[in-house]
A and B are shown apart, each in its own frame.
Chain A
Amino acid sequence: MSGGGCSIRAIWILTPNDTVAFSRRFAVVEKRWRAAWEAEEGDGEGDRRGTGAAPLLFPADHEVAAAFAERRRREGTARGSGIRTNVSSVGLDSWVDDPITRHIISLRLDKEEGDGFMLWPVVLQKRGGYYVLVLPLVDPQPFRAYENLLKRSDCGSSAKENGNLSSILFNLPCITGAFMVAHVVGDIITGDIAEPEVIISSGPSVGGLLDSLTGSIGISARAKPIASPVAAPTASLSSPVGAAQSDSLKGGVRPFDKDLLRNFIIGAMPFGTAQDLNYANVTSIRTTGFSGDPLPTDQKQPAWKPYLYKGRQRIIFTSLETINAALYDRDDVPDFLSVSGQVTCRAELEGLPDVSLPLTGLKTAHVEVSSFHHCVQASEPTANKQTLVFQPPLGNFVLMHYQAPCNIAPPVKGFYQLSMVSENEGAFLFKLTLMEGYKSPFIMDFCMITMPFPRRRVASYDGNPSIGTVSMTEHSIEWRIVSSGRGLSGRSIEATFPGTVKFLPRTVQRINSSFRSVSSTGYTEDSDSEQDNAKNGASLDDYIMEKINKDLQAVDLEEPLSWQAYNYAKVSFKITGGTLSGLTIDPKSVNVYPSVKAPAEYSMQASSGDYILWNTLGKCPTAALPREL
């Protein structure tokens, strides 16, 4: 019944206090849901009759909020644990033992009279302190299949068995659709609706769709949207420094514009079936409408390009790269460097022209994977070259994403050593080389090194760096090697910083994290089993770390590792003038058809994501590199 499409039965936005901040349900979709169940009933499989009626009920807002609160109580956190632990039990999402159950949850509604029923799949997104819940329409069969998974009494399914979670998800594109809906709704809540950044080398960075639009129709431009300073993908990379790892909210939640959201929903999915999830387009159409725009004479105008550009023509490309690095300075562990990049584009072209962009150097750059905007028709990559042909939408858009290794020397390399001389005092040493091998167009805008000590309070530090300035916060020491405004260009520098850091004595701090309290219940620390590590020949460092780690909390599954268990230094920098992967665009080779005179501009920028110098003298997290089978 639901087919391969994506229809949404309802959207709820819950506050951390378990009240419903916003809800929207779609009567049309609900009707289809009922029809599907009634059809299933009609098929008359006897054993299913008993439960058949329950899912037909639809919960009131407060019931959803209560069910969500109840789920948080049972699963430990709002998202759940995602892994079967010794506190999981049959019927909980964590019983299914899959991390995705933190994102696709079930809600159990307990009606006072009669049986309760379950809502599934509820796609959950946590954004800006709010929980966005999106319930797509699914057929009864996958619903039953998931119910069965929840009830399995065995030790957990494998991908080879029938009816496993993977195959259920495979057959439900609506869940994927619901994810995208939830994502956009989350963006609207957080106000994170700026278009991707496009940088032009001369002048301020350009705005988004509305600027093009207002420019082209002669309305004065509105205030510029606040673009994020670095176009780093925010979804998966969270700042490791003192990252709060609990579900409880720090501070209050910002109220969001419900009218804006309501408006968007009417435009994007008037009847529950998503048609366009591009916020800029949808709201532009609803707020601005169409005046006397001419239509193309011989072509269909794509839905994702509701307006045609009018004005001076040009086309701008920007490469934005983020480099993640784990630098160990050890013989046995190779350094890990990875670049994720995107090419954003802004095509100010009249009509509906096709743009072709040849990409070269793919092989040289070892580009591992790339994906393209849906307007792009990419040719099959041959050897080193791939041509992209696209009819660009209006405004800024991400033309392509790619993953590549860092093909030149890491911009910051060297080592960081921290050794605890006593429980409250450590000696450290940095020895770094910056921008070695980077020739002229490369400019390092700034470079800063942070030594985070999230669980210690820094009392003082001592020592002078060979270059730059040092400052100290309660839980970290920051070393600015290159300050913004005094970019480092065309030369490499060496920077050393020996010093000591003193901490305030540790007070036993029990941070009340609900996650910890749940997951650690099974493993109570046993004073009997305490071991004296100092006797076992381990170094003092290890001993102190071990001691400190005793009250370490479990991190969320969204985190890559237990940051607080390690000593490390995080490097932040921005480099312009080139790409680290080596993948570049030649603006001269850009072709527009039908041919127009439109200059192509190109700029490049690279910045650090998780760029970590692991303490050479301590423990460090690693990952194996693939071996050939």
Chain B
Amino acid sequence: MAPPPAPGPRCLLAAPPRPPLHLKPLLLSLVDDHLLPPSPSSSPPSSPPSLSFPLDHPRRDHLLVTVVSAFASALSAPVSRDHEAPHLAALVDALLAAANRPNHAPDRAARALACDALRALDAALPGLLAEALGHLYALAAAERSPAAQSYLLLLASAARHAVRLGRLASGASILAVLTPAAAMEMMAILAEVASAVLQWAPAIAAHIKVQFGGMVHSSSPMLLHSLLTLFVQFPDAFGAEDERTMAHRLALAAREVHRPLAVRLLALHWLLGSVRFRNLVPGLARWFYPAVFDPLALKAKKLDCLASVAAGVDGEKVAAADRASDQATGLLDDGLVCVSAFRWLLAWSTETGVAFRALHSVLVGAAPHSTDGTRCSGAGELLNSTFFHHLQAILVDMASEHQGLVPVIADFTNRLLACNSHRWAGERLLRTLDECLLPRLEPGYQLASYYPIFEKIAQNETVPQHRLIELLTKQMVSLTKKHGPDTELKSWSQGSKVVGICRVMLKHHHSSHIFLPLSHLLVLTIESFPDLEVRDHARICLRMLSCVPGKKLRHIMGVGEQPSGVTPSHSGSLYDIPSPRAAQDLKSMPDLASYIHLERVVPLIVKQSWALTLPNFSVQNRPSGSILSIQDVSSAPSEQENPTGPTIERIGYRQETLRVMDSKGAATLQILRRYFTCVPDYLHSSGFKIRIQCTFRFDSEPFNDAWGLDLPVSGSDGADELPALYAVTITFSSSAHFGKIPSCHIPFILGEPPGSGMDIVPIDNQNREESSYCASVMIELEPQEPSPGLIDVSVEANTENCQVLSGSLKPITVGIEDMFLKASVPPDTPREGVAMYYQDLFHALWEACDSSTNTGRETFPLSGGKGSAAINGTRSVKLLEVTPKVLIGAVERYLASFVVSVSGGSLVTILRGNGVIKNVMWEENVPDASVDADALVPYSPDNNLQLQLVDDDEIGVGAERYGHESKRDMGIMRVMIFLPPGYHLLFLMEVGRASTLVRIRTDHWPCLAYVDEYLEALIS
């Protein structure tokens, strides 16, 4: 491979025009710095330009350095110097030639540089100089100028590579002429050479000691460290005495104030870092005592050493003698004196940091982390040692005497608790604080300083809480007593902190353990604490304590908190703010409706899925003589008041005041007037409300699959493994005229265990509602029109991992039967008169709904006096071909409360006997059914609802059947149903043996559409 011409230094420097002189070193440095990174394919500079540089050129050496650096970094070993890199060979030859004039005085610096250059090349291309080794030896031996150092290093370095490559040579042994830095390099090289030949020449170890042992007293840290490495590499060369001297020397080096701080620290590190000195460290204890003016860093490190000694003392002899433990505690006490200011300085002072670091290092020194990371060695012994007791006593005393240190102590325990190996120590410490510190504390404002520790105690499951709760209870009492106009803020602040601790307790403890005292504390707070917010807080806590099951509760409260690390902030942890998380992409979620269910408790009789939404069509197409009834006679029913209100209601309003009336009509009117004054006027106030009871539940398994929840560590009881939803809000909307439907809220619900379903959930609805898997939801409608419809359901909830779930569920079907209400009774009606009243009302309405009557022109003022109603009746009939038994069963089951009167002997007998229908008018005699003569007349030519009945065949058949009195002679039931907001549905059921004829009248014709189907469903 023929290298192309060099782009390198030669171009820069040899090519004219020459750059100004002062730029040259900068250019060289630039080249030097940017030799990196050498790409493998790049070729080295072609020839050594230094050769053409005059010897006395001021930049010659710099240029040489650059060129050699370029070669060394660009070439990769192995290089055959003759063929592959002729320029390298030329360079090496030139350098060797330059070096080859030993003791030539004036150019000694140049010769030294040549040697250094050769060494750099040799380091980059090991073995380059292997053949010249003998020559180098001769040069090194001959040279007497200070350049000898470079010769020696070159020789040693070349020799090292010869050794590495398997070609042995003997090391040189001249140290006295080297500078410390060079000596360090030399020793590193020699040590490697020597250890390689140690096998064949064991005497070399002794030689090492003779050569280098004297450096132990050197003030140069480099020499000291070099010597240390020799200790490691030649363990046999140095005896126990040497080791002692060395260890002593290192301990003292840290006391030499003239040394830079870093070196003093390093000396202690060396002492601790070598296994060889480890057993010597205890003997050096007196040298580790920190002095007043030692920098804090050094104090800290010396305390490390003392800790190491103390741990050693304690570890070895703990069983043997108390004296040992005394020594250890003594060392600890003595050591802490030097930073004793930490007791009264502020918590963030450096002294405090150093002191607690020392305490920690003592502890960890006595029980180091084990390699497998599980439990550390020496835990058991340490726990029982006087030493550990002493440590605890120190901390307890500190906490009780210096309140400023409390957060630091809390941090200290936290650090232990967060460590897998030392959790036990932290827990023991907390227990000790609980046992020894808490009894010493008195309630009062100053107790607030201790809240950080209380919080730690509250967080820990292994510490019994009763003392803490007791103290906090006292504190609350004391705060309450001290409360006054000046202390409002204090009461609030301290009170909320106490409640905060209670929250922490809730989170970390089985509620059963703390239930009694904690609820006592909370109740006390709720009852008597002066600050409202604190009371509120306490109330929430108490509710959570009593409502949400144990682990789930703890999980909720833990949401949003950081994982328990060493560095939670202090102030924040009392009140958690859930971390905002991006709501999951709802589109990627499977349909919520597939696993979240909102269902009616009572299924509809009519299994219809359609809903006739009555828009304005029917009315608008209609001429003015209309059906719609409730009319507003007041001033302006503003759109703003009821924007969703149907426009149909004002159509057909006609002021009719002129009427003629007979006495019967007058009685009817009177009844109706009286009645309508108790019907609320929904346009001006709230109307009647319909309630539909539903249940809310969700399936665990598909839920977990969908949301990928990380459930808390599952306990023994199954409930903890179940997912939960929090703060569920169910909102409803409907296109039907159901008014505004209030949303429902469910604070907490567990997912249904997988596989439960039929077998586990009891059939009994009551029980089901009470289960924690199932919440009962009441949908309240305020219909403005009695029609069935669909209610769209959407749900929003929080999952345990703080994700927000939202989506829509299956709609709830509202049937016409949901609209069935009892007619209202005027308040002045006596109880026993209700049945009579109903009967009268039935008859009155029946009359009124006869389209032929005059009441159609009448308006009836409603409750409140603003609005009024009118009646436009419609009639219909329906033949139910069922046996009386079925009919009676259906009526008793579904319509019992709406029955107004029963007549006819057999019917009365049966119904009375059944006892389901009560408080109605019983009439033994069947009244004359002549009222119904026109029953078959279709009331309106375009009323398609009666198609069934106007069918020609049917009429014939029906007429024939109805002719047989005997077939429907069992009796008559009158059923009166109120349809909100102000309509009525009247059934007159002529019950016969084989069939029943239902005569229907209503003042709301659209409902007939559903009634027909309803009646069909009733008996099917």
B370 nearest in chain A by CB position: A161
Q: Which residues of A contact B345 (CB under 8 A)?
A: 549, 552, 562, 565
A457 CB to closest chain B CB, in angstroms? 22
Contact for B334 among A102, A277, A292, A627, CB less than 8 A: A627
**A168 within 8 A of partner (CB):** yes
A119 and B435 alpha carbons, distance in the complex (Å) = 48
Is A169's CB under 8 angstroms from B273's CB?
yes
Q: Which residues of A contact B293 (CB under 8 A)?
A: 237, 324, 326, 338, 560, 609-610
A4-B188, A180-B222, A626-B286 in contact; A154/B422 too (CB < 8 A)?
A: yes
A4 and B252 alpha carbons, distance in the complex (Å) = 23
Q: Which residues of A contact B282 (CB under 8 A)?
A: 629
Q: Which residues of A contact B884 (CB under 8 A)?
A: none
Is A528's CB under 8 angstroms from B490's CB?
yes
Is A166's CB under 8 angstroms from B252's CB?
no
Is A100's CB under 8 angstroms from B176's CB?
no
Is A304's CB under 8 angstroms from B297's CB?
no
**A378 within 8 A of partner (CB):** yes
List B residues 942-980 near A (Cβ within 8 Å).
none
Q: Which residues of A contact B32 (CB under 8 A)?
A: 24-25, 27
Q: Which residues of B contact A290 (CB under 8 A)?
A: 105-109
**A559 within 8 A of partner (CB):** yes
A401-B256, A626-B285, A627-B334 in contact; A154/B419 too (CB < 8 A)?
A: yes
* Binary flags per residue of A278-300, CB closer than 8 Å to B gives 1, else 0: 10010001100111111111011
Q: Which residues of A contact B221 (CB under 8 A)?
A: 176, 179-180
Is B273's CB under 8 angstroms from A166's CB?
yes
* Binary flags per residue of A286-318, CB closer than 8 Å to B gives 1, else 0: 100111111111011111111000000000000
**A99 within 8 A of partner (CB):** yes
A173 and B286 alpha carbons, distance in the complex (Å) = 27
Contact for A296 among B62, B116, B144, CB less than 8 A: B144
Q: Which residues of B contact A158 (CB under 8 A)?
A: 307-308, 311, 361, 364-365, 368-369
Is A562's CB under 8 angstroms from B214's CB?
no
Q: Which residues of B contact A24 (CB under 8 A)?
A: 29, 32-33
Stretch at the interface among A62-70, A268-276, A435-443, A572-580: A268-276
Is B187's CB under 8 angstroms from A4's CB?
yes
Is B217's CB under 8 angstroms from A378's CB?
yes
A98 and B357 alpha carbons, distance in the complex (Å) = 9
**A372 within 8 A of partner (CB):** yes
Is B144's CB under 8 angstroms from A162's CB?
no
Is B357's CB under 8 angstroms from A27's CB?
no
Q: Which residues of B contact A595 (CB under 8 A)?
A: none
A160-B308, A236-B259, A301-B146 in contact; A338/B291 too (CB < 8 A)?
A: yes
* Binary flags per residue of A61-105, CB closer than 8 Å to B gives 1, else 0: 000000000000000000001111111110000000111101110
**B721 within 8 A of partner (CB):** no
Contact for A173 among B222, B289, B335, B347, CB less than 8 A: B222
Contact for A58 among B36, B262, B340, B449, CB less than 8 A: B36
Contact for A624 among B148, B189, B338, B357, CB less than 8 A: B338
Is A28's CB under 8 angstroms from B222's CB?
no
A3-B192, A167-B274 in contact; A371/B181 too (CB < 8 A)?
A: no
**B371 within 8 A of partner (CB):** yes
List B residues 399-442 near A (Cβ within 8 Å).
403, 407-408, 411, 415-416, 418-422
B697 CB to closest chain A CB, in angstroms? 42
A510 and B273 alpha carbons, distance in the complex (Å) = 42
Is A549's CB under 8 angstroms from B269's CB?
no
Contact for B72 among A31, A291, A300, A305, CB less than 8 A: A31
* Binary flags per residue of A528-555, CB closer than 8 Å to B gives 1, else 0: 1101000000000000001001101011
A175 and B282 alpha carbons, distance in the complex (Å) = 27
A338 nearest in chain B by CB position: B291
Is A302's CB under 8 angstroms from B340's CB?
no
**A398 within 8 A of partner (CB):** yes
List B residues 161-181 near A (Cβ within 8 Å).
174, 176-181
Contact for B273 among A170, A304, A371, CB less than 8 A: A170
Contact for A170 among B147, B270, B304, CB less than 8 A: B270
A259 and B388 alpha carbons, distance in the complex (Å) = 59
A391 CB to closest chain B CB, in angstroms? 7
**A177 within 8 A of partner (CB):** yes
Stretch at the interface among B78-86, B119-127, B458-466: B119-127
B808 CB to closest chain A CB, in angstroms? 44
Q: Which residues of A contact B532 (CB under 8 A)?
A: none
**B836 within 8 A of partner (CB):** no
Stretch at the interface among A43-51, A447-455, A458-466, A615-623: A615-623
**B500 within 8 A of partner (CB):** no
Is A236's CB under 8 angstroms from B261's CB?
yes
**A6 within 8 A of partner (CB):** yes
Is A275's CB under 8 angstroms from B150's CB?
yes
List A residues 498-520 near B (Cβ within 8 Å).
516, 519-520
B23 CB to closest chain A CB, in angstroms? 12
Interface centre among A85, A97, A275, A293 (most CB of B within 10 A): A275
* Binary flags per residue of B210-232, CB closer than 8 Å to A gives 1, else 0: 00001101111111111011001
A275 and B448 alpha carbons, distance in the complex (Å) = 62
Is B69's CB under 8 angstroms from A28's CB?
yes
Say whether chain A's binding surface is mostly helix, strand, loop, or mixed: loop
**B701 within 8 A of partner (CB):** no
Is B338's CB under 8 angstroms from A176's CB?
no
B455 CB to closest chain A CB, in angstroms? 13
A336-B292, A531-B446 in contact; A102/B297 too (CB < 8 A)?
A: yes
List B residues 346-391 near A (Cβ within 8 Å).
346-351, 353-354, 357, 360-361, 364-365, 368-369, 371, 373
Interface centre among A27, A262, A281 (most CB of B within 10 A): A27
**A524 within 8 A of partner (CB):** yes
Is A259's CB under 8 angstroms from B25's CB?
yes
A181 and B547 alpha carbons, distance in the complex (Å) = 69
A489 and B419 alpha carbons, distance in the complex (Å) = 64
A87 and B415 alpha carbons, distance in the complex (Å) = 12
Is A374's CB under 8 angstroms from B295's CB?
no
Stretch at the interface among B565-573, B616-624, B627-635, B674-682: B565-573
Interface centre among B182, B222, B278, B448 (most CB of A within 10 A): B222
A84-B357, A369-B256 in contact; A27/B73 too (CB < 8 A)?
A: yes
A93 and B129 alpha carbons, distance in the complex (Å) = 43
Is B184's CB under 8 angstroms from A173's CB?
yes
A378 and B294 alpha carbons, distance in the complex (Å) = 28
Q: Which residues of B contact A557 (CB under 8 A)?
A: 295-297, 300, 350, 354
Q: Which residues of A contact B229 (CB under 8 A)?
A: 4, 171, 173
A262 and B149 alpha carbons, distance in the complex (Å) = 22
Q: Which residues of B contact A169 (CB under 8 A)?
A: 266, 269-270, 273
B649 CB to closest chain A CB, in angstroms? 64
Is B180's CB under 8 angstroms from A28's CB?
no
Contact for A558 among B290, B297, B307, CB less than 8 A: B297
A60 CB to closest chain B CB, in angstroms? 10
A85 and B355 alpha carbons, distance in the complex (Å) = 12
Interface centre among B116, B278, B416, B566 (most CB of A within 10 A): B566
A277-B179, A552-B345, A627-B330 in contact; A164/B273 too (CB < 8 A)?
A: yes
Is A403's CB under 8 angstroms from B257's CB?
yes
A553 and B433 alpha carbons, distance in the complex (Å) = 29
A56 nearest in chain B by CB position: B37
**B493 within 8 A of partner (CB):** yes
Is A292's CB under 8 angstroms from B105's CB?
yes
Is A236's CB under 8 angstroms from B260's CB?
yes
Is A371's CB under 8 angstroms from B351's CB?
no
Contact for B269 among A89, A165, A281, A627, CB less than 8 A: A165
List B residues 183-199 near A (Cβ within 8 Å).
183-185, 187-189, 191-192
Instruction: A89-B567, A266-B65, A531-B446 given; name 7 further pairs at CB < 8 Å.
Output: A99-B265, A160-B278, A160-B365, A271-B120, A528-B449, A531-B403, A560-B292
14 A-B contacts, Cβ less than 8 Å apart? A155-B415, A173-B222, A176-B221, A236-B264, A271-B68, A274-B185, A275-B149, A302-B176, A336-B292, A369-B253, A521-B569, A528-B493, A529-B446, A621-B341
